[in-house]
Amino acid sequence: MLLVALSPYFLYQALRHNKYLGSLGQRFGYLPVSFNLDGDESIWVHAVSVGEVLAARPIIAELRKRYPSLKVFLSTTTLSGQQLARRNVADVDGVFYLPFDWTFTVRRTLRQVKPRLFVMVETEIWPNLLRECRRTGVKTALVNGRISHRSFPRYRLARPFFRRVLADIDRLCAQGEESARRLVELGADPSRITVTGSLKFESLHTVPPTPGRGPERVLRFFRLSPNRLVLVAGSTMKGEEEFVVRAFNRFRSTPAGSNALLVLAPRHPERFAEAERLCRHEGLSTVRRSELPIDAEPRADAVVLDTIGELAQLYQVATAVFVGGSLVPSGGHNILEPAVFGKPIVFGPHMENFGEIAEAFLANGAAVQVRGERELDDVVLSLMNDPVRRARLGAAARALVDANRGARDKTLNVLAQLLPLREGPRGVVRPFRVVH
């Protein structure tokens, strides 16, 4: 009934943005015959979109090493996640779209994927899929789990339902203590919960990569002069880009900012053209990243990043970074990607999706939070004109990232309890306990 009600929306998205049409077969559980031709057993990892795919990469690579006799498959929900997975995740035997959560589609997919272990990244909880895994003896785990401040009240209204669904998950790995407590309040068994930290710390490079190789190829399109200042606005949403462009223009009107560059990276691909029009409307000469010549300096005032999977590397060229989805109530986006390169980070008041991480950054003087357009103007102007403050913020951000590694090994130790290694030592992981 819900699918019928939403079918006009899906049809519009399919025709307007070329979404869904090419993936309908897989979403109905029909994978290519060659997908798992020999019917080998596997580990199935599901990551909804780009952020979850990036978080899953560290454990996928290690799962491949630890379980060489099992295939590793990765599913996504969104088109952007699918594109990134196919291009940047090398340690999987196949990538496909998650089936609709109906019993007959789920069963069809399970018969072909043949998982011994199903791993969900963050809060991808699908009742029928989990129920069928339980029925067929497939072990299940939620990793990098979080229940955001924004979602928790809605989930709590359906607590009896969530209690039954969470009972079908064998182990839950929470990003932090607060997410663990919320899972318990929703009905999860505390003995099945382990606080492992955030895998997103593990998905980052410890050393800046060599420009021009692999994903770092994007740097060849930004051969910038040493004295050129760059503001990178990443994962921006509708309603906040105007503020960013105006703040940049204010800095650009100063002597220090006359040659500055704005890199604007909208979160959703369908908004690339809208972002380009906005920059031009505000008086900036603008070009898309896909139009830049290689091994040359961009001559425009603004570049719209209209590619997928390049933003994380492009933070290397930033003088300062604004992380989007935070000036509008969208929950915020990943602040760790610029942090690993020691960049000063600015974000707005809406960081619910990264609440625990954002709080840690603020408490350690590793980021600046603004409440609206006026504060954003002042902070951008201040940071771009103050190299000492930029260096202090960037060093604190990098130090915080380095101090919080270890989630990958903790998570893998939990998974080893569900799918024991045939040889080698096993880690001991203490379950989460509620302290009153």
- Residues forming the active site: 52
Q: What are phi and psi of 319, to 5 degrees?
A: -85, -40
* Amino acid making up residue 189: D
Alpha-helix residue ranges (DSSP H) falling in 18-78: 24-27, 50-66
Return the beta strands (E) in 107-218 as ranges: 115-121, 139-145, 171-174, 193-195
8 Å CB contact between 331 and 350: yes
The 10 Å Cβ neighbour count of residue 318 is 23
> What pairs with residue 115 in β-bridges?
42
Report the alpha-carbon distance of residue 262 to residue 250 in Å, rounded: 12
Name the maximum alpha-carbon separation found in the chain. Answer: 67
Query: Distance between alpha carbon 11 and the CA centroid of its chain, in Å?
Result: 26
Report the alpha-carbon distance of residue 304 to residue 263 in Å, rounded: 6
Report the alpha-carbon distance of residue 249 to residue 262 in Å, rounded: 9
Residue 284, SS3 per DSSP: coil
The 10 Å Cβ neighbour count of residue 430 is 7
Which one-letter DSSP state was computed for residue 139? E
Report the alpha-carbon distance of residue 156 to residue 181 in Å, rounded: 12
For residue 296, with 0-12 CB atoms within 10 Å meaning exposed, 13-18 middle and 19 or more buried, which class applies? exposed
Report the alpha-carbon distance of residue 429 to residue 196 in Å, rounded: 9
Which helix H or strand E contains 373, and what residues bound it? helix 373-384
8 Å CB contact between 170 and 418: yes
Which one-letter DSSP state was computed for residue 422? S
Q: What is the dihedral of CA 412, 46, 194, 407, to 10 degrees?
A: 50
Nearest to 411 by CA among 152, 187, 122, 185: 122
The token pair that represents 378 in the structure block:
């002042």
